[in-house]
Structure 1
């Protein structure tokens, strides 16, 4: 039974989240699954990690992406490829209605309320906001190479995980 499931996984698309990785030529994707505990008859979350081929560098850390298995493994680790970015990080879209969301409300409802009661100076305007990535190198370090910190030194490196 388990062998059939593993074969079926290779044929379908998987939905996962991009996480920081040490590998320079690949993207690491976390796919969340539910695994049945036979003794308790309860499902528990299990994370599986896949290294994916991303030649165009489409996804950044935090993006929700679709991945598909490659017909032949590129390397021992790289077994999948990134098909598309479904939801960029920080730009939440309701999957049923297709409307943009801010916290627990639709953005258009927030705009309608601002028209009725007057807009405050402290409210954030999503239409005028620049796209993600405009602060690369200043506050957004997702494009920088990351590595695992094995030793503690006097100087602190912000790119280490």
Structure 2
């Protein structure tokens, strides 16, 4: 029940760059849905494809569109793939580090926020100097917790002063 996808049926394919090499090649991972004949359900199937990057502009983690090479005389041999490659990068859709989370507005690298490791409780993220809005709920929760603790300490100190022992 296994059916191999033919790349000729697709003009442009979306994938993520997982390996880049200095000889104008990069490996792109494509995730496709494949039907399991016994369960009659679709499951993710990963395919890794060598793609020609003419300007060496791709980095690992970029989301790219690739297409067949327009001039078929330019067939590039790849040492790791016995059949070579006949595909090239058409467009870089999302570069690593230049994507923003639409909900919080924070810059992210893949699935992690760029400032996740360096969140400083003393920084006001609403008027950030970097030019984009950051709304950090953990920062707001920390400030609320600090206020509650300070109020509790003030209340505790006033109770101790008012009652002689």
Which protein has greater RCO, CA pairs closer than 8 Å, 6+ apart? 1
- Among residues 101, 108, 123, which one is paired with 1:121 in the alignment? 123
- Preserved CA contact (<8 Å) 1:26 1:78: no
Separation in 2, partners of 1:21, 1:103: 28
The 5 Å alignment of 1:30-41 reads: 30-41=29-40
Question: Greater share of helix residues, 1 or 2?
Answer: 2
TM-score when scaled to structure 2? Answer: 0.53
Give the direction of change, closer, same or farther, for the CA distance of 1:23–1:43 in structure 2 (3 Å limit).
farther
Name the count of aligned residue pairs: 105
Provide the residue aligned with 1:102 in structure 2.
101
Where do 5+ consecutive residues of structure 2 fail to align?
78-82, 107-121, 133-165
Provide the residue aligned with 2:58 in structure 1.
59
Q: CA deviation at 1:23?
A: 7.4
Provide the residue aligned with 1:6 in structure 2.
6
Provide the residue aligned with 2:76 in structure 1.
74
TM-score when scaled to structure 1? Answer: 0.54
Provide the residue aligned with 1:156 in structure 2.
none
Give the direction of change, closer, same or farther, for the CA distance of 1:74–1:14 in structure 2 (3 Å limit).
same
Q: CA deviation at 1:7?
A: 5.7
- Preserved CA contact (<8 Å) 1:17 1:29: yes
Separation in 1, partners of 2:129, 2:16: 27
Where do 5+ consecutive residues of structure 1 fail to align?
93-100, 108-119, 129-161
- Among residues 91, 101, 108, which one is paired with 2:98 in the alignment? 91
1:70-96 residue CA offsets vs partner (Å, 9 max, x unmatched): 24232232220001110111322xxxx
Q: CA deviation at 1:126?
A: 4.0
Give the direction of change, closer, same or farther, for the CA distance of 1:30–1:125 in structure 2 (3 Å limit).
farther
1:78 counterpart SS class = coil
Structure of larger gyration radius = 2
| Aligned alpha-carbon RMSD (Å) | 2.7
The 5 Å alignment of 1:39-50 reads: 39-50=38-49
Separation in 1, partners of 2:130, 2:39: 46
